[in-house]
Structure 1
């Protein structure tokens, strides 16, 4: 038998009819298991002190388990066996006693390797939700002890604010709140983590199966033309008074003129802009790489920010340590307060861009393309805006009929 190497492992082909074992020629008991589906995992075969044959799974081939790392782990397992320990029994006992907090640590550490297409920002959000809500309410519970009722109760507890508190954050103290939206997102993250635990055989069944997520009432805010004029006037005034930085004012105007997401404008780089063709080529976004139009009014905004040597970003002097524009939310608070629109969110500028496009007769398909929506259903929130011209026709017709009913001529 040859020594297990990456070349040997890569060459091992799956047999659709049965499990395939490839044993290492150097370390007795160390081997590679290939399932009929092609999943490759490193294992250690051994006998307990009572003579029972066991097969200890080290982990799947690939990050973090290379041949050399798996061989080192196999040696540790075999040394434990020589000392009279049954590693598989210990592993089973550890899984039985694993707490939700420990599972959260494992999920965040090893989950990204199993879901390589999930964006780092999404994993950061998962980590924040687990820290803010799952750990305080369920962290000390054992994973195997969780029931469907526990998951449902967790969601309601978060919605009612039982995990709400003030925490230390990168940008100062932050209020962790409850509500249906937060509860649904936290529960969705918990469900994904428990699905991970099921795939790792930490638990046999996912206790969150069948738990329905709370529906939050979405209130979409669309600006009118008068409100757009008011907002633009306020942004200019606050910029002139140096209450907000020119970079923030530029970002707010770009959001109004392009329909882009806040994060896309925060991280906008000069190399992504194709001024000649009037395009912005985002290498990554919430929905992956995309190309979005750069309207001429938006291109004029960019001329106010000359490119600086050694700085790839369009908007200067505002980027925080973690690559985010640290004071942007505070600047926006100044704008909406001065405009008398305290409920207006930055994301509503994107909604308003779409609402103007639809009201002018653009199809939902084209609006979705401009916004970078992958699913047509995402653009459907603007469908009702198409009814405005129909309403005008209906109103005019009804007025004429009503006049006739009163015996008058329209």
Structure 2
């Protein structure tokens, strides 16, 4: 039976009725190879049907409700010309469908990083989760330089120049991984050559005159997890990602130490962070409440622990009337107060996990006692500046307005 043909018009296509249990095909009298397929449910779509190397290929053009008849005819004519030139559009569509998305590529990147013990993988996953969902579902070949340039510019405004650069670096590294390690054919790096923001060395710290306002604002924070997290970030000088992922298995309250495993600490060896009197007073109630099991700061998200509390941090800064202070600056603040207290750079470096060819040998010869003493001096200096500690005794933070018991 000859295939049904009609001259495609809006009226004719609209009048095509579905047949229960059967898909029907109606061809255009004007454009060779163009047809409309009607599903049993009544959905209508344009296709170009041609035989390629002895096989009938159905190349979908689009939904008949959104694609105009003229566009369908023009597209069908182009498909037929491409086939005549040796290209198989249907095969190309199948390849496109099977092509990796950026999410697929990043998943491979994570697996490779885990196998190699990549130290910055936690930051990579956080940047992907927070900033790269807009391209996650895109096919790799669909991600263009314009997309990455716009993303970098937007992040420079909303998240800061430095954060935008870190995300740009991550995109570039992931694509290079796809090219050099996964050998994805014909893959180009859309981040290559995009100019990063100029970065200057940051020296922001909490200054002594800001300490009273900072601690008063911290005491007024209603979220005890946020309050304790900020306090421990300041009192330990640890990286914010390490404090977020602090686990009770790493804490020894009797020995007053927190041992950060090397892979988590971005260091070759484990880092032993001294826990000062003030830090113990934060941790002890949390240990009693949880039985010292699992994460110190448990969360409901994918990681199982608290994630970076950006909104709460901004609330804290607004209450304290403090500007241009980042969570990472708390790490720098402790070191600055230690330097002010006369602690040597070598001792500070050991506790912070800073390693270099010039200083590693010195750090290795240092005992833990001077480091613990340095941490006590640094946190004592912080508490004195905040007006919470005199020379010999701590003034409990609960005496400040709005305080809840678990702050320190």
Give the TM-score normalised by the residue count of structure 2. 0.52
* 1:177 Cα offset (Å): 3.6
Q: Do the aligned partners of residues 129 and 334 (structure 1) sit closer, same or farther apart at CA in structure 2, a change above 3 Å counting?
A: closer
Name the counterpart of 2:300. Answer: 320
Q: Do the aligned partners of residues 339 and 261 (structure 1) sit closer, same or farther apart at CA in structure 2, a change above 3 Å counting?
A: same
- Which secondary structure does the structure 1 equivalent of 2:272 belong to? strand
Q: Distance in 2 between matches of 1:154 and 1:253?
A: 39
Over the aligned positions, Cα root-mean-square deviation in angstroms equals 4.2
* 1:352 Cα offset (Å): 0.6
How do 1:157-176 residues align onto structure 2 when only pairs under 5 Å count? 157-161=150-154
Name the counterpart of 1:303. Answer: 284
How do 1:3-22 residues align onto structure 2 when only pairs under 5 Å count? none
2:264 is aligned with 1:285: yes
Q: Distance in 2 between matches of 1:277 and 1:124?
A: 33
Q: Do the aligned partners of residues 220 and 376 (structure 1) sit closer, same or farther apart at CA in structure 2, a change above 3 Å counting?
A: farther
2:200 is aligned with 1:202: no
Q: Do the aligned partners of residues 270 and 186 (structure 1) sit closer, same or farther apart at CA in structure 2, a change above 3 Å counting?
A: closer
The CA deviation string for residues 145-185 of structure 1, in whole angstroms up to 9 with x for no partner, is: x9xxx64x655433432x89xxxxxxxxxxx9465434422
Name the counterpart of 1:371. Answer: 352
Kindly name which structure, 1 or 2, has the bigger radius of gyration based on alpha carbons. Answer: 2
Count of aligned pairs between the two proteins:
263
Q: Distance in 1 between matches of 2:200 and 2:299?
A: 33
Q: Do the aligned partners of residues 292 and 310 (structure 1) sit closer, same or farther apart at CA in structure 2, a change above 3 Å counting?
A: closer
Q: Do the aligned partners of residues 195 and 277 (structure 1) sit closer, same or farther apart at CA in structure 2, a change above 3 Å counting?
A: same
Structure scoring higher RCO (CA < 8 A, sep ≥ 6) equals: 2
Name the counterpart of 1:214. Answer: 197
* 1:354 Cα offset (Å): 1.2
- Which secondary structure does the structure 1 equivalent of 2:132 belong to? helix
Name the counterpart of 1:230. Answer: 213
* 1:259 Cα offset (Å): 0.8
Q: Distance in 1 between matches of 2:241 and 2:140?
A: 36
* 1:104 Cα offset (Å): 1.6
Q: Do the aligned partners of residues 359 and 262 (structure 1) sit closer, same or farther apart at CA in structure 2, a change above 3 Å counting?
A: same
Q: Residues 101 and 139 of structure 2 are in contact (CA less than 8 Å); yes or no, is this contact kept in structure 1?
A: no
Give the TM-score normalised by the residue count of structure 1. 0.51
Q: Distance in 2 between matches of 1:135 and 1:377?
A: 42
Q: Do the aligned partners of residues 231 and 376 (structure 1) sit closer, same or farther apart at CA in structure 2, a change above 3 Å counting?
A: farther
Q: Residues 305 and 315 of structure 1 are in contact (CA less than 8 Å); yes or no, is this contact kept in structure 2?
A: yes
Name the counterpart of 2:335. Answer: 354
Q: Do the aligned partners of residues 110 and 94 (structure 1) sit closer, same or farther apart at CA in structure 2, a change above 3 Å counting?
A: farther
Q: Do the aligned partners of residues 330 and 131 (structure 1) sit closer, same or farther apart at CA in structure 2, a change above 3 Å counting?
A: closer
Q: Do the aligned partners of residues 218 and 99 (structure 1) sit closer, same or farther apart at CA in structure 2, a change above 3 Å counting?
A: farther
- Which secondary structure does the structure 1 equivalent of 2:259 belong to? strand
Name the counterpart of 1:121. Answer: 122
* 1:223 Cα offset (Å): 1.4
